């Protein structure tokens, strides 16, 4: 099946450790639960899209090691097309350790070797895949030439371009349709704090001026604001029992993209996206646990 959504982003071994309290230097903590799963933000987004039932391909790089081959096998078992993923010779696969305490505070230890970042060459080699997608998600922890090349190919093919994070280059905003940023990323992007809805709307309007159709900004601790040319909608957090916010933004991006790819309107898509994010906060680690029903769950009144 031809992938409708292509994700360009990171793939990593993800080790999720739950502790009562993270240890200070010179102390230790017992680990209460340990999960080792397919992770990395790009892979988590692709897993989310696959869970929602939309054909998806991931463009990511693993090392030529046992972990790399395991990651590809896991992604394929998740229903992700990995035929364009790259196994980089002599490289070590990325590892992310997520230590989450009982108050939901996370600490990440990241070993992401430079040679497992996706290169411009990797993107150009997958040119047909990117050009033929309906939507392309660019997870912005990749080198600038990589994301610029992917955005240009996606544009050429008429795909919807969805950015997650801080664009390395303003020009990327003019090649994209949608940008999602957490509050910290939004502040880096606009130079303005995003601590409340009004500040979120202001930041969103600034971003739309670069040519985007939609900016989705996290108003930390409060909710998400969806700013489009037609206006804005703020969706406050509900009563999720938050264990770990890791990956919630990625689930939001995956769901929003699937909803639009299926032709849903902004309001329906936005509600589904925040429901997916909330559900991802309720367990440790960034791997989403979505079901296709979430796309239908909040048809608007």
Ligand X SMILES: Nc1ncnc2c1ncn2[C@@H]1O[C@H](COP(=O)(O)OP(=O)(O)O)[C@@H](O)[C@H]1O
Q: What x/- string results for residues 126 through 145 when contact with ligand X is judged by CB under 6 A?
A: --------------------
Cα-only R_g, the chain:
18
Burial class of residue 160 in the structure, from the number of CB atoms within 10 Å of its CB (0-12 exposed, 13-18 middle, 19+ buried): buried
E strand or H helix at 189? helix 183-190
Closest separation in Å from C-beta 182 to Mg ion: 5
Cα–Cα distance measured from residue 35 to residue 37, given in angstroms and rounded to the nearest whole number: 6
Query: What are the tokens at 161?
Result: 């371009």
Site for ligand X in 213-272 (CB under 6 A): 218, 224, 237, 240, 242, 245-250, 252
Binding pattern to ligand X, positions 170-199, x when CB under 6 A? Answer: ------------x-----------------
Q: How far is Cα 291 from Cα 257, in angstroms, rounded to an integer? A: 15
Site stretch for ligand X (CB under 6 A), options 59-67, 131-139, 152-160, 273-281: 273-281
245 binds, options ligand X, Mg ion, none, Cβ within 5 to 8 A by partner type: ligand X
* Residue with smaller CB distance to Mg ion, 46 or 86: 46
Nearest to 58 by CA among 70, 72, 46: 46
CB nearer to ligand X: give 116 or 194. Answer: 194
Full DSSP string of 66-90: HHHHHHHHHHHHTT-B-TT-EEETT
The correct pick among 12, 78, 281, 287 for binding ligand X (CB under 6 A) is 281
Nearer to Mg ion, 81 or 164 (CB): 164
Task: Give the interface with ligand X as residue ranges (CB under 6 A).
Answer: 182, 218, 224, 237, 240, 242, 245-250, 252, 274, 277-278, 281, 286
């Amino acid at each position: 099946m031809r992938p409708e959504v292509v994700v360009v982003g990171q793939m990593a071994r993800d080790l999720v450790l739950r502790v009562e309290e993270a240890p200070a230097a010179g102390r230790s903590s017992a680990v209460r639960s340990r999960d080792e799963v397919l992770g990395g933000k790009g892979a988590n987004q692709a897993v989310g899209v696959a869970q929602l039932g939309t054909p998806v391909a991931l463009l990511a790089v693993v090392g030529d090691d046992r972990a790399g081959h395991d990651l590809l096998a896991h992604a394929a078992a998740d229903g992700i097309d990995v035929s364009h993923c790259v196994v980089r010779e002599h490289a070590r696969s990325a590892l992310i350790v997520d230590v989450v305490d009982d108050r939901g505070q996370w600490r990440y230890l990241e070993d992401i070797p430079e040679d497992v970042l996706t290169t411009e060459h990797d993107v150009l080699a997958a040119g047909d895949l990117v050009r033929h997608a309906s939507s392309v998600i660019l997870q912005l922890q990749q080198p600038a030439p990589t994301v610029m090349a992917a955005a240009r190919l996606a544009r050429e093919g008429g795909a919807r371009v969805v950015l997650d994070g801080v664009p390395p280059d303003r020009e990327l905003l003019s090649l994209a349709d949608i940008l999602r940023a957490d509050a910290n990323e939004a502040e880096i992007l606009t130079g303005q704090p995003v601590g409340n809805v009004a500040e979120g709307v202001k930041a969103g309007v600034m971003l739309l001026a670069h040519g985007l159709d939609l900016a989705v900004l996290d108003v930390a601790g409060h909710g998400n604001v969806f700013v489009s040319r037609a206006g804005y909608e703020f969706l406050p957090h509900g009563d999720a029992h938050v264990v770990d916010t890791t990956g919630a933004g990625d689930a939001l991006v995956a769901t929003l993209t699937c909803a639009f790819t299926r032709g849903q309107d902004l309001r329906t898509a936005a509600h589904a996206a925040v429901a997916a994010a909330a559900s991802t906060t309720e367990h440790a680690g960034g791997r989403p646990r979505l079901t296709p029903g979430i796309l239908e769950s909040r048809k608007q009144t």
